[in-house]
Chain A
Amino acid sequence: MHLLFIKQMNINLNQICKHFGKLQANDHISLLIPGGTIQGILGENGAGKSTLMKILSGFIQADEGEVILDGVQVRIHSPADAIQHGVGMLHQDPLDFPPMRVIDNFVLGQSGGLFPDWKSVVDEFKQLSEQFDFKLRHDAYVDMLTVGERQQLEILRLLWLGAQVIILDEPTTGISALQKQKLFETLKILAGRGKTVIFVSHKLEDVENLCDRVVVLRQGKLVGEQLKPFNTKNLVNMMFGKSIALEESKSHSTDRIAFELRDLSLEEERIQIQNIDLKIQAGEVIGLAGMEGSGQRPFMQACAGFLRPVHGRILVNGRDMTGMNYPAFKRQGVGYMPASRLEEGMIPGLTLSEHFILAGQQEGLFIDHDQWQEVTREKIRDYNIRGKPESPVESLSGGNQQRALLALLQQPLKLVLLEHPTRGLDIESVIYTWGKLKERCCDGAAIIYTSSDLEEILLYSDRILVFFSGKVSAPLSARGTSVAQLGNLIGGKDWARIKTGVGVTA
């Protein structure tokens, strides 16, 4: 009965143009999204997806073109205007307030009386996060959360605000398969109720599962459109202008032990990990699987020397490094790439070449800018970064920031620690990046990385450690494990059947 009263909003983007300097980020893009549907937006890194979404949500202004909502041309000058029109957006990198509490972040921006009704807000927050199986504590501080958890918080906030149009820019990089399923169910229900959902992602599979229709952007232009059911091959072709196949990944594992943990116990505000024994061979790739915040981050930080273990030893290349700090680890050839690229990984405001200068070896007092320009150009070519040596890092697209971060890791390394190395990368770049990383393995580097993508974990790792609320599995061989098994372990099931803690070298 009430179906008759459903309010729908048709979105019509007409000839949207946006340029940054000489670069045409959006080039006469026209797009019609009927209300009540889920629209997917695909495109390689730097294609202009985020730019288009930021225009629709008022974060930036188009140079030309118009936005028509339900037949009425509207002027969206700021996010406040967009919110007025019922448009809400989840940004690719979480735009939140790290030193504030989760619940403060949740409430901030919501309209209402002078004093929020904290009790009911907390109740609603708990209810909502339970609905999605997100394990967020309302009184935690956001700077203690992982990037994935911060994305979860933003998803909850956006859904709670109840916008008519919900834009999600890469929302699935920080959530597990099960959580993703629940999120998708909810989005489908919302669409059924007449809301319009716009979903930007690099995961073709996600887009195909969720969306009713898809458009593809390439180099700022809209190059194609498809309705359900989708033709995957065709989509890939539109995105990259060629077809791409996944390759079987080779193992470069050797006999030499590159890294060793002996009876290691870690402790952090939220989580404790006990008695890990692990030997990693040179050239080996270890994938860490688990829901966000299950202990992967303290584990990584301990391996890099940021977090001192409360018990046990850490050996890099046979040398005892327990209790030393990151610079000491770095000198021993340990490199670390954090997940929050614009907060811990790079320095907003500095250009690409300045980043390479900072990361490089210092010789003498003065900087030879020409030489570094050349080095930067080489890296840009090598890692296929869309940007110039003089581009400030925050002007790069999300995926290109990620490539820059990878390019900044020094060479050679003995142990490479990577948090979500391919977060926000398109398929082509994922393959390319892993090619680059495997080259390092060939040179004898061991890699430890986290990812919320189980297929990635299984495809590229030699062995896998599963984390579940501070418990760590014995290393599993990637060959002998299936996506389903891994999914169960991550969700806390089947743990009785595997060994924990005491790691046996394969």
Chain B
Amino acid sequence: MTNEAILLGLAGVLTTAAPLIFAVVGETISERGGVINLSINGTVLLTAMGGFAVSVSTGSLLWGFVAGMVIGALVALIVAFGSVTLKQNQVAIGFVLALVCRDLAYFIGNPYMGLEGLRLPSLDIPLLGDIPIIGTLFFNHDLMTYLSYLIIPAAWVWIFRTRPGLVLQGIGEKPAAAFVRGSNVRRLRYLYTVLGGAIIGLSGPIYSLSVKAGWKGTISGLDGLGWIALAITIFGGWNPIRAALGVYLFAFLQWLGLVLQPSLPGVPSQVLQVAPFPLMIMTLLLVNIGNTEWVTRTLAVLPAPLRRFFNRLLRAMRASPPAALGTPFESE
């Protein structure tokens, strides 16, 4: 394999990761507010189909993406209504929606199967795109891939550095305390669930208008992406940057599996396809290691400044789910 091919392959990893990035960031925002949007696997399929269908019918890529966001937001609205207003079990609602949306996508999408459609053009960034290696790797992609880079820090800054972001953390952590501080918990939960849904809704069109343009029904290879996104959201500790690193690691491992397959004829191809999953889990366990007692005790022998540094580092890496995740809020 030439260096050039490896470089292009790695660059491809960034593009194929884009749908997952949006799905994971959207889910993270929703869950930070305390609402699990479990419908995500169905949403991704439905928006992939919907985005493609709309762009084929209107001849406009923009409308395709808008359709994705609208569909994602609407599905999330149902989740929000069921869990915030009706106070029903979020897991049950989301799971049913995941199945319904998937079947809807296959059913409504039938007429659009295999049609020739639009494809998001590549957009080289001037200057940056010309830098050797870096340019090929990061700046010879399409618009949505660039947006996928941007949405990660944007979401992180919003959640951890802005005033409304602190409130977002608050309503997912202890809604009663956020309520006491003057927040309208129900309205905010609606807002963030729908916003998260809209962001998730971009991941489908990115797939069907860019990564693997077109709609191929059940063989789109898209089914399951939503479940992976859910897992990465959790392992990412509800932190967009960590979750994004998880996504890239996952995409990279998948690519590695494909590349290595020809040179490892003895290994069944299924093993290489599945390998990214346990590897992901191992990595994320390592990241969360600061929670274990023996680590704390091992650290105790280090000199004080070093120990304090490690303690802080481990504490910063520690992740716990938003305490009120999945529970409705009763103000009385």
Contact = CB atoms under 8 A, between A and B. Distances in A.
Q: Tell me, yes or no, whether A binds B.
A: yes
Interface of A: 57, 59-61, 78-80, 83, 89, 91, 95-100, 104, 107-116, 141, 267, 269, 308, 310
A80 B183 contact: yes
Contacts of A267: 300
A79 B161 contact: no
A141 B177 contact: no
B174 A97 contact: yes
Interface of B: 161-164, 166-167, 169-170, 173-174, 176-184, 293, 297, 300, 311, 315, 320, 323, 331-332
A8 B315 CA distance: 46
Contact of B184 (A78, A100, A104): A78
Given A141-B315, A310-B300, A91 B180 contact: yes
25 contacts: A57-B180, A60-B331, A78-B184, A79-B179, A79-B182, A80-B182, A91-B180, A96-B174, A97-B170, A98-B174, A98-B323, A100-B170, A104-B166, A107-B166, A108-B166, A109-B170, A109-B178, A109-B182, A113-B163, A115-B162, A115-B163, A116-B163, A141-B315, A267-B300, A310-B297
The 5 A-B residue pairs whose C-beta atoms are closest, nearest first, are: A109-B181, A95-B177, A80-B182, A83-B182, A108-B166
Contacts of B320: 99
B322 to A, nearest CB: 9
B311 A112 contact: no
Nearest to B172: A97
A109 B183 contact: yes
A59 to B, nearest CB: 6
Contacts of B176: 95
Nearest to A141: B315
Contact of A100 (B169, B180, B183): B169
B173 A79 contact: no
A167 to B, nearest CB: 11
Contacts of B323: 98-99
Contacts of B161: 115
A107 to B, nearest CB: 6
Contacts of A91: 180
Given A80-B182, A109-B178, 13 more contacts: A78-B179, A83-B182, A97-B169, A97-B170, A97-B174, A97-B177, A99-B323, A104-B166, A104-B169, A107-B166, A108-B166, A108-B170, A114-B162
Given A97-B170, A112-B163, A61 B332 contact: yes
Nearest to B173: A97
Contacts of A116: 162-163
A107 B166 CA distance: 8
A319 B164 CA distance: 54
Nearest to B164: A114
Given A107-B163, A267-B300, A60 B332 contact: yes
B177 A96 contact: yes
B174 A95 contact: yes
Interface centre among A61, A80, A89, A310 (most CB of B within 10 A): A80
A350 B297 CA distance: 35
Contacts of A59: 179-180, 331
B287 to A, nearest CB: 17
Contacts of B173: 97-100
Contacts of B162: 114-116
Contacts of A112: 163
A52 to B, nearest CB: 15
Nearest to B332: A60
B180 A95 contact: yes
A57 B331 CA distance: 13
Nearest to B293: A308
A60 B331 CA distance: 7
Contacts of A111: 163
A403 to B, nearest CB: 23
Nearest to B167: A108
Contacts of B178: 108-109
A267 B184 CA distance: 41
Contacts of A79: 179-182
Nearest to B321: A99
Nearest to A84: B182
Given A95-B176, A115-B162, A269 B311 contact: yes
Contact of B180 (A61, A89, A107): A89
B167 A109 contact: yes
A91 B311 CA distance: 32
B111 to A, nearest CB: 45
Contacts of A80: 182-184
A109 B181 CA distance: 5
A112 B167 CA distance: 13
A66 B300 CA distance: 59
Given A78-B184, A80-B182, A310-B300, A110 B174 contact: no
Nearest to A94: B177
Interface centre among A80, A108, A112, A308 (most CB of B within 10 A): A108
A133 B323 CA distance: 31
B330 to A, nearest CB: 11
Contacts of B181: 79, 108-109
Interface centre among A83, A97, A110, A112 (most CB of B within 10 A): A97
A374 to B, nearest CB: 31
Nearest to A89: B180
A114 B331 CA distance: 27
Nearest to A161: B181
A111 B164 CA distance: 9
B195 to A, nearest CB: 16
Contacts of A83: 182
Contacts of B184: 78, 80
A113 B170 CA distance: 18
B299 to A, nearest CB: 10
Contacts of B163: 107, 110-116
A109 to B, nearest CB: 3
B8 to A, nearest CB: 40
Nearest to B163: A116
Nearest to B174: A97
A418 B167 CA distance: 35
Nearest to B301: A310
A59 B329 CA distance: 13
A349 B323 CA distance: 15
A328 to B, nearest CB: 15
A210 B252 CA distance: 66
A100 B173 CA distance: 9
Nearest to A157: B181
Nearest to B169: A100
Nearest to B320: A99
A54 B255 CA distance: 58
A81 to B, nearest CB: 9
B218 to A, nearest CB: 42
Nearest to A96: B177
A83 B323 CA distance: 25
